[in-house]
Structure 1
Amino acid sequence: MAKPRRGVKFNHRNGHSSGTDGRRSSFSDISEAASEPGSPDKTTNGGDTIVVQQPGISEYEKKKQTFLTRALWTFIMIGVFFGAMFMGHIYIIAIVTAVQIISFKEVIAIANVPSRARRLRFTKALNWYWLATTMYFLYGESVIYYFKHIVLVDKVLLPFATHHRFISFMLYIIGFVFFVASLQAGHYRFQFTQFAWTHIALYLIVVQAHFIMNNVFEGMIWFFLPVSLVICNDIFAYICGITFGRTQLIKLSPKKTVEGFVGAWILTVLFGIGMTNVLMRYKYFICPVNDLGANMWTGLECVPNPVFTPHIYHLPIWFPIHKSFSMTPMQVHILVFATFASLIAPFGGFFASGLKRTFKIKDFGDSIPGHGGMTDRMDCQFIMGFFAYMYYHSFIAVYKVSLGGVIETAITGLTPEEQMELVKGISKHLFNQGVIAEGVLECLNGAVRRR
């Protein structure tokens, strides 16, 4: 009787091999083990299992490849960002829109995986419908607010502008009714969880990104400064952390240190002051958008916000050195922006880290090679952009009568007869000021009388 050879495993009748613990290995376990780099290939020779060791990629080569990929895509993103910023505001708005959609898709995908297994046909379609409805409402609000002098005088766009909120509400109601009608017995908990998760994603990503887009309309500086402060703070925190970081800051991100946190704050403040002094010299950055066709070379024209105008500040008489100095108020405001970007905005990243730990994932996706998902790069930007919008409108914005506001008041608050009287009055005023000729005035008055 021949002795069994050592090191040879015999297959069971059902075709599955048993592990050392007696459990049956699944197909996915075998596939994953075989797909790992450096794992041995198993072949059979007359019923015997022969293990062939394949040469694997060294850890150094892996890190080198990851670093090169990450560096390449970092420069690509920087190039696209600055190229879009110099080409005009409309290109930055397109980038913000793309970031909205990709980030929403990544966050929704975290909790949307089981829907296919549950055979719920409309889960994914409803998610995209909520996104489209929300973006229609938010983008419409921005267009009407900043370009009402164009929208309200257009025959086609006027009904959409005057009834925009009602239209948006009815679109939401249609989705709500469709969601309720799609509820299936046995899946209620999962479907309502999806409903809640989708709305959370809409608020945390789409709504906050909408305020970033509004910052672009208020002036490129209110978009570029918050974005650059967050990016530089992240870089400074990494440099300070690996240089002299010792004390762990928060358990959600074990690599974050108190020393890196504080050091990045100081360096970010210095960077913000220097960058602000440069950007304030160009009207392309400090002027609100009044021409979507403008770019870095054509520039913009406006009366600068007083926050960019130097003021002379007098020190108390007992102060030992200079009795007065000149400074723009923006140099004080940038201290607040830099402090928020350093001390508060990183908690957006900590929140994202906690979310990933909850779902046991490393990254939100693989949208950016070497960096993970879009959400991994934008987690701090959303809350920073939201803060910039709120701070600007609370402490910096100058509210005055605008052409669009006057047209809106005239269209929505006056009867047609009163509007014609307004036209006559304005035309007479322009004639008295020498802006229009007498023939133009007679033509306008004749047209109004015939009406």
Structure 2
Amino acid sequence: MTKPKKDIKFQHRERRQSRGSMSDSPTEERNGANANGNSKSPTRHANSEKQKGADAAAGWATDDEKVPVKEQSEFEKKRQTFITRAIWTFVMIGIFFGSMFAGHIYMLIIVTAVQIISYKEVIAIANVPSRARSLRFTKTLNWYFLGSTMYFLYGESVIYYFKHIVLVDKVLLPFATHHRFISFMLYVMGFVFFVGSLQKGHYKFQFTQFAWTHMALYLIVVQAHFIMNNIFEGMIWFFLPVSLVITNDIFAYICGITFGRTQLIKISPKKTVEGFVGAWIFTVLFGFGMTNVLMRSKYFICPVNDLGANIFTGLECDPNPVFIPHTYQLPFIPPNWTHLPTTASISPMQFHILVMATFASLIAPFGGFFASGLKRTFNIKDFGDSIPGHGGMTDRMDCQFIMGFFAFMYYQSFIAVYKASPGSVIETAITGLTPEEQVEVVKLLAKHLVNQGQLAPAALEYLGEQFQMLRR
């Protein structure tokens, strides 16, 4: 039975082959068959040629011109990216300068938004596996720790800079005097909740998430807190560090593509030693010039004493001695060389800006290298797409966090002037004296003001009567 079947198949295949090999077939003559037995309709061939001509005339690539199409598509993609990036660059510049000139409170809002967005982007990298594992409360705990940390840090700043407002308010006083204990208990509650949410089989992963959250809190939230303190100390301590980092980044790119040859660090192959050093020189020069301009405006050099102030209303204060020019004797100038100046009048801030510009050029870029290494670890190009054309907020702020932290520490260590203020005196009286002792302080202070002619004697008598009425 199998043998006839094979013969039938063989005969059928042979019959089909014989039909395809007939050169005098009317069908092939009608279709214009070639010698190899391949047939093609003359009408279709002519139409295809016409279509190719029409495509070429219309600017479309034909089958033989696929490479130019790809190059054109790539060029259009880069062009669109460049346009989007340029537009959003100008948008960010406008928002930044508009907020800075509108008042300190608007800059605080901007920094808070940057802080939250950056934290969200970094946490999102580690949240993807948690969703795959269907672990509950992981994302909730991330945001809870952010909230409790911001409550602690913001509270510290408000109490420190606005003691005269917070400590005299009946509602805010308990929160101010027990702020650190409340913050600690908030953190402990999150810690207990995390331990209670541990699931068997996922311990290692959950503790990794816990460590990742705390790393993000320290590198982003804590450092952003010190940037806010820089705003409170004076707009110059915020604007100068930010502008130094941006200037260094721009000139590192320009110097790198112009004469960069030697690779600087493997984690960022495009960074060169020549660009690194060239950017340092230009950043120092920019720092000297910008400092000279900003020192002339009290809106920039004065600490915040009115959150409603702006560039038009300005601020009033006694300038920090670092902004007052000093006369320095120039070294290595012979006394008999009268045609050369032997002294120079320079404000000490010009020497401090040399240190800050050097840090912005030589140390702050390592914040960007750290971020590059982090992205390579997770095999991602950007931290997110918060800013069209620029990637994530963290991609733009990776160097700013560490620079702002350094600016605060340097200011507190070498520039800040510590003296008693009404807020600090009130804080000491409220937290260190009993109510009876506080009343005595008020009486003595009123008596001193009467002796100095600042108060009328009747005011002292009035205070004495009021205290006696309260005792009754």
Q: 1:376 offset after TM fit, Å?
A: 0.1
What amino acid does structure 1 have at the position aligned with 2:402?
A: I
Aligned equivalent of 1:164: 179
Does the C-alpha gap of structure 1 residues 296 and 434 become closer, same or farther in structure 2, counting only changes over 3 Å?
A: same
Q: Using the alignment, how far apart are the partners of 2:264 and 2:437 within structure 1?
A: 65
Q: Using the alignment, how far apart are the partners of 1:315 and 1:322 within structure 2?
A: 8
Q: 1:377 offset after TM fit, Å?
A: 0.1
Q: Using the alignment, how far apart are the partners of 2:146 and 2:303 within structure 1?
A: 28
Aligned equivalent of 2:451: 432
Secondary structure of 2:227's counterpart equals helix
Q: 1:281 offset after TM fit, Å?
A: 0.1
Q: Using the alignment, how far apart are the partners of 2:313 and 2:413 within structure 1?
A: 30
Q: 1:434 offset after TM fit, Å?
A: 2.4
Unpaired stretches in structure 2, ≥5 consecutive residues = 1-12, 18-65
Q: 1:316 offset after TM fit, Å?
A: 4.5
* Pairing 1:365–2:384 present: yes
Does the C-alpha gap of structure 1 residues 440 and 196 become closer, same or farther in structure 2, counting only changes over 3 Å?
A: same
More displaced, 224-233 or 308-317?
Answer: 308-317
Q: Using the alignment, how far apart are the partners of 1:317 and 1:63 within structure 2?
A: 56
* Pairing 1:333–2:352 present: yes
* Pairing 1:80–2:95 present: yes
Aligned equivalent of 2:23: none
Q: Using the alignment, how far apart are the partners of 1:418 and 1:131 within structure 2?
A: 40
Q: 1:318 offset after TM fit, Å?
A: 5.2
* Pairing 1:217–2:232 present: yes
Alignment of 1:180-329 (within 5 A): 180-316=195-331, 319=334, 321-329=340-348
Deviations 1:266-304 (A, max 9, x none): 000000000000000000000000111100000000000
Aligned equivalent of 1:116: 131
Deviations 1:352-405 (A, max 9, x none): 000000000000000000000000000000000000000000100011111111
What amino acid does structure 2 have at the position aligned with 1:432?
A: N
| TM value normalised by structure 2 | 0.83
What amino acid does structure 2 have at the position aligned with 1:418?
A: E
Q: Using the alignment, how far apart are the partners of 1:434 and 1:410 within structure 2?
A: 24
Matched-pair identity in %: 80
Q: Using the alignment, how far apart are the partners of 1:180 and 1:318 within structure 2?
A: 70
Rg (Cα) greater in structure: 2
Secondary structure of 1:301's counterpart equals coil
What amino acid does structure 1 have at the position aligned with 2:129?
A: P
Pick from 386, 391, 399: which aligns with 2:410? 391
Does the C-alpha gap of structure 1 residues 67 and 316 become closer, same or farther in structure 2, counting only changes over 3 Å?
A: closer
Unpaired stretches in structure 1, ≥5 consecutive residues = 4-52
What amino acid does structure 1 have at the position aligned with 2:290?
A: M
Q: Using the alignment, how far apart are the partners of 2:92 and 2:76 within structure 1?
A: 24
Aligned equivalent of 1:405: 424
Equivalent pairs, count: 401
Q: Using the alignment, how far apart are the partners of 1:64 and 1:316 within structure 2?
A: 55
More displaced, 318-327 or 224-233?
Answer: 318-327
Aligned equivalent of 1:348: 367
1:100/1:209 contact within 8 Å kept: yes
1:312/1:327 contact within 8 Å kept: yes
Secondary structure of 1:75's counterpart equals helix
Alignment RMSD, CA only?
1.4
Q: 1:317 offset after TM fit, Å?
A: 7.2
Q: Using the alignment, how far apart are the partners of 1:68 and 1:95 within structure 2?
A: 24
Q: Using the alignment, how far apart are the partners of 1:164 and 1:436 within structure 2?
A: 36
Q: 1:83 offset after TM fit, Å?
A: 0.2
Q: 1:435 offset after TM fit, Å?
A: 2.1
Deviations 1:153-200 (A, max 9, x none): 100000000000000000000000000000000110110000000000
1:215/1:222 contact within 8 Å kept: yes
Aligned equivalent of 1:129: 144
Q: Using the alignment, how far apart are the partners of 1:295 and 1:156 within structure 2?
A: 29
Q: Using the alignment, how far apart are the partners of 2:258 and 2:215 within structure 1?
A: 38
* Pairing 1:142–2:157 present: yes
1:424/1:448 contact within 8 Å kept: no
Secondary structure of 2:91's counterpart equals helix
1:312/1:326 contact within 8 Å kept: yes
Q: Using the alignment, how far apart are the partners of 2:200 and 2:452 within structure 1?
A: 74
Q: Using the alignment, how far apart are the partners of 1:442 and 1:67 within structure 2?
A: 74
Q: Using the alignment, how far apart are the partners of 2:248 and 2:96 within structure 1?
A: 18
* Pairing 1:61–2:80 present: no
1:227/1:381 contact within 8 Å kept: yes
Q: Using the alignment, how far apart are the partners of 1:366 and 1:282 within structure 2?
A: 37
Q: 1:149 offset after TM fit, Å?
A: 1.0
Q: Using the alignment, how far apart are the partners of 2:330 and 2:360 within structure 1?
A: 30
More helix by share: 2
Q: Using the alignment, how far apart are the partners of 2:333 and 2:304 within structure 1?
A: 45
Q: 1:425 offset after TM fit, Å?
A: 1.1
Q: Using the alignment, how far apart are the partners of 1:373 and 1:254 within structure 2?
A: 21
What amino acid does structure 2 have at the position aligned with 1:302?
A: C
Q: 1:330 offset after TM fit, Å?
A: 0.2
Q: Using the alignment, how far apart are the partners of 2:94 and 2:269 within structure 1?
A: 31
| TM value normalised by structure 1 | 0.87
